Structure 1
Amino acid sequence: MKNRWLIALSAVGIHISIGAVYAWSNFTNPLMQQFGWSSSQVQLTFSIAILFLGLSAAFMGHFVEKYGPRKAGLVASFCFGIGVFTSGLAVNLGSLPLLYLTFGVLGGIGLGVGYIAPVSTLVKWFPDRRGLATGLAIMGFGFAAAVSSPIMDSLINSVGIANTFFILGAAYFVVMTLSSLYLERPPEGWMPDGYQEKVNSGTVKVKKDLAQLTASEAVKTSRFYYLWIMLFINVTCGIAILSATSPMAQESIGLTATQAAALVGILGIFNGLGRLGWATVSDYIGRPNTYTAFFAIQLVLFAILPFTTAAVPFQIMLVVIYTCYGGGFAAIPAYIGDMFGTKQLGAIHGYILTAWAAAGLAGPLFAAWMYDTTGSYSNSLMFFSGLFLVALVISLVIRLDIRKLEKANKERELAEHHQYGTEVR
């Protein structure tokens, strides 16, 4: 029997590798200077990678369930590692389309498969701490930029852009392959040592999943679309703030470009901490309450932020927003497990993550358009506050579905108990 904490460490190894995609901005200026490409041309590489993350997560979710996390992880390590490595060839050839294909398409496929494979596995290894388990892995994704950004910067300055891609691609391939080889699903019905005894004695109360559905069954339910919309809104608004933090801080509280860059780095740490913190909290207060808290808090903060010119309150509000953004990613796999069970959690998670792909395009583009149109970020922040009101309502409406299912499950259990009692008599 494998050690579940080493399974968690393997998941972190994969996520901290693929999460380096968030440090793509390190390549923006060097590529622009070397080839004369525009900012939008270079940034499109990142957008393509995020788009294919969402698409591959959706299409490869069934692959994860059918062939297991080890094979899925090896596919991810090949696609992401080779995608980054061959990006060096694209740079040597000076080919932007090839860079789109290598880092964007191939790397993006590795991102999607690598994202869902360990997460769906961890949920099954940690029936007692679902939120904590998924938070640990996804925290690695959030922290990756902070870890890899200085390494990338140092390599670019010392060995050049192409060699940086070669070195990073090889390193990611090795780390992800070694991590994937330890991944494995637990046996059916497995529980941690002593946990079953605690359940039997009544010391621990196990909250049963509302259902055990396949991915095709899940997408036919209203609660699937409630979760999709909630994640879409949280990511759209959060990623828009992420993409505009530096100029917004300079505009609103007068930070210099250097100070704003330092702030972005610090906020990235809170993005990672929020993933672990909120996911752990969700184990205690429940996923519905956690998501309602996300939206209630951000509804208020996004409405106040445009009118805040004092540096300290402004930065504190951004810290809280960043933790909610990261927490939304970390809590969603556990929420999916609660709603649909673990039968095909990887596939359902993949479908839900299409919300991320859509939001990755919608959020930054809308914020940039609002700024170009109005000359300020204030109007887009007020609009996002309105979106959080919609999300807040949905987070309350989904509870009606939950109560209805809980009632139906209870009635079915009573009927089965009554039938069993009759047969015994």
Structure 2
Amino acid sequence: MARLAANRWTSAIIPALLIHIPIGTVYCWSVFKQLIADQLNASPSSVEWAFSLAIFFLGMSAAFAGPMVEKNIKQSALVSMICFVVGFAGTGVSIALHFLPGVFICYGAIMGIGLGVGYLTPVKNLMLWFADNKGLATGIAVAGFGLAKAIASPIMEWLIGTIGLVGMFYVLAAVYAVMMLGGFLLIRRPAGWVYDPAVSHVSRRTIMTKPVFWGIWIAFYLNITCGLALISQEKDILHDVLQSFPQYAGLNQSELAAAIAGIIGLVLAVDAVFNAAGRIGFSTISDHLKRRESVYQIIFVMSIAVCVLQVALNSIDNAVLWAVLAMLFLINAGYGGGFSTLPVLLDQHFGTKTVSTTHGLTLSAWAFAGLSGNQLASFVVTHAPDQAHRYAALIPVITALYVVALVSATLVKRARRQS
């Protein structure tokens, strides 16, 4: 039994974390995006496309990598390591050469492919090793992706201050190469598992003709879109709320800026904790429910409730901050939980044998949400009729989308397992 537990850790959990923690640093983009713009003499909005492309290529590469992961997990781990490390280091080279298209190619396309293949690689392996606790196992690994921002952001800031932006990319590329190489060397399927193309391969076209697939896809897509729309604006939302907070009325501009920056930094750190906790917590809860769609229903009902609460308390000075914090923390938790529960939900409907293919296809929703979430928030905020409270206009829009997601998850729950 101890040998089995050790094998589970060394063959599934540890390599999953060694792969997911490096690739999860894609969410550290805000740490250095302005610095890239400054060094390349480019506008922040143009540089922002590198991140959007990274998420797009993440989702689309995952959509096409499923069969490779099913057939050869070692190959997919190696492809992920090479693409991610080359893309990350290449971003540093592009910045050093003042070549913005290189940033798009390296950070957006090459690294994005490494993200998608790497994200998908450990998932089915974990489900095979932890057949009785699939949700917990995938939740732990995917939590590494969510926690990466909290772990790497201060390290990146220290390295930038010590050796510069380009040096930071080179040093971390080397560190991530070692970590992902370790994941590649350790990861393996359980003894006795044999790839059978007759049962492991399933036509993408067949999957995409199933209404239940699109129900899951829509629910997943809307959860990411709403999460990104809110997360992309959370600094500005907090700044607006705190700036008018009665307790700060007597501070001068520099004192006010310092106080607000300190609180925002703390809130963003707590956000990362809630995101990771949601990934582990919601997926673990799903192990104890008859239908895993129930977790999605819980996430959407919770998200709708905190949005409504924020709108209801928006005009009460002493309550609005707590309502905003509850909204940010719980939506971050639901955002993470949607990712970790997805593989086991697909397993429930399509079976473990083809989960890499179905999971990869569904992750295409992440690609499109990466392009639409930020843009939705920007559009709503820019066109809000009351610019003094422009971020408040985003909350009703997000609430309506969560309602649609809840309806989609409820319809999926009524569907039978696909044969």
Task: Compute the TM-score of the two structures, normalised by the length of structure 1.
Answer: 0.86
1:239 maps to 2:228: yes
Q: Aligned AA for 2:236?
A: P
Alpha-carbon separation, structure 2, partners of 1:189 and 1:96: 46
- Partner of 1:222 in structure 2? 211
Q: Aligned AA for 2:20?
A: H
- Partner of 1:70 in structure 2? 74
How far is 1:185 from its partner? 1.8
Contact 1:54–1:356 (CA<8 Å) still a contact in 2? yes
How far is 1:145 from its partner? 0.5
SS of aligned partner of 1:128? coil
SS of aligned partner of 1:75? helix
Q: Aligned AA for 1:154?
A: W
How far is 1:213 from its partner? 7.9
Alpha-carbon separation, structure 2, partners of 1:212 and 1:82: 31
Q: Aligned AA for 1:222?
A: P
Q: Aligned AA for 2:19?
A: I
- Partner of 1:372 in structure 2? 382
Q: Aligned AA for 1:329?
A: F
Contact 1:282–1:290 (CA<8 Å) still a contact in 2? yes
How far is 1:326 from its partner? 0.5
How far is 1:215 from its partner? 4.7
Alpha-carbon separation, structure 2, partners of 1:387 and 1:10: 36
1:279 maps to 2:283: yes
Alpha-carbon separation, structure 2, partners of 1:319 and 1:42: 28
1:295 maps to 2:300: yes
Q: Give the % identical residues.
A: 35
1:333 maps to 2:343: yes
Across the two proteins, how many residue pairs are aligned to each other?
384
Alpha-carbon separation, structure 1, partners of 2:40 and 2:150: 27
1:346 maps to 2:334: no
How far is 1:397 from its partner? 1.4
Equivalent positions of 1:101-250 (< 5 A) are 101-187=105-191, 214-216=202-204, 217-250=206-239
Alpha-carbon separation, structure 2, partners of 1:32 and 1:350: 32
Contact 1:87–1:99 (CA<8 Å) still a contact in 2? yes
Equivalent positions of 1:6-21 (< 5 A) are 6=10, 7-21=12-26
Alpha-carbon separation, structure 2, partners of 1:221 and 1:276: 29
Contact 2:53–2:104 (CA<8 Å) still a contact in 1? yes
| Alignment deviations for residues 372-408 of structure 1 (CA, whole Å, 9 cap, x no partner) | 1113122221122111111111222112213xx59xx
Q: Aligned AA for 2:297?
A: T
Alpha-carbon separation, structure 2, partners of 1:373 and 1:257: 27
| Alignment deviations for residues 148-204 of structure 1 (CA, whole Å, 9 cap, x no partner) | 0011111111111111111111111111111122111224579xxxxxxxxxxxxxx
Q: Do the aligned partners of residues 74 and 101 (structure 1) sit closer, same or farther apart at CA in structure 2, a change above 3 Å counting? A: same
Alpha-carbon separation, structure 2, partners of 1:178 and 1:92: 29
Contact 2:309–2:323 (CA<8 Å) still a contact in 1? no
| Alignment deviations for residues 46-76 of structure 1 (CA, whole Å, 9 cap, x no partner) | 111111001110111111112x221101110
- Partner of 1:422 in structure 2? none
How far is 1:291 from its partner? 0.9
Moved more, 74-83 or 36-45: 36-45
Contact 2:306–2:323 (CA<8 Å) still a contact in 1? no
Q: Do the aligned partners of residues 175 and 69 (structure 1) sit closer, same or farther apart at CA in structure 2, a change above 3 Å counting? A: same
How far is 1:36 from its partner? 2.2
How far is 1:34 from its partner? 2.4
| Alignment deviations for residues 311-343 of structure 1 (CA, whole Å, 9 cap, x no partner) | 223212321111111000000011111111111
Contact 2:142–2:339 (CA<8 Å) still a contact in 1? yes
Q: Aligned AA for 2:24?
A: G
Contact 1:214–1:343 (CA<8 Å) still a contact in 2? no
Alpha-carbon separation, structure 1, partners of 2:203 and 2:328: 36
2:59 to 43, 50, 54: 54
| Alignment deviations for residues 273-327 of structure 1 (CA, whole Å, 9 cap, x no partner) | 1101111111112412111111111122223323434222321232111111100
Q: Do the aligned partners of residues 308 and 250 (structure 1) sit closer, same or farther apart at CA in structure 2, a change above 3 Å counting? A: farther
> Structure 2: where are the runs of 5+ without partners?
246-259
Contact 2:53–2:112 (CA<8 Å) still a contact in 1? yes
Alpha-carbon separation, structure 2, partners of 1:10 and 1:215: 29
Structure possessing the higher radius of gyration over alpha carbons:
1
> Structure 1: where are the runs of 5+ without partners?
191-210, 410-425
Alpha-carbon separation, structure 2, partners of 1:386 and 1:26: 31
CA RMSD of aligned residues (A): 2.0
Contact 2:130–2:137 (CA<8 Å) still a contact in 1? yes
Q: Structure 1 segments of 4 or more deviating over 6 A?
A: none
Q: Do the aligned partners of residues 293 and 249 (structure 1) sit closer, same or farther apart at CA in structure 2, a change above 3 Å counting? A: same
1:80 to 70, 77, 84: 84
How far is 1:252 from its partner? 3.1
Alpha-carbon separation, structure 2, partners of 1:270 and 1:130: 21
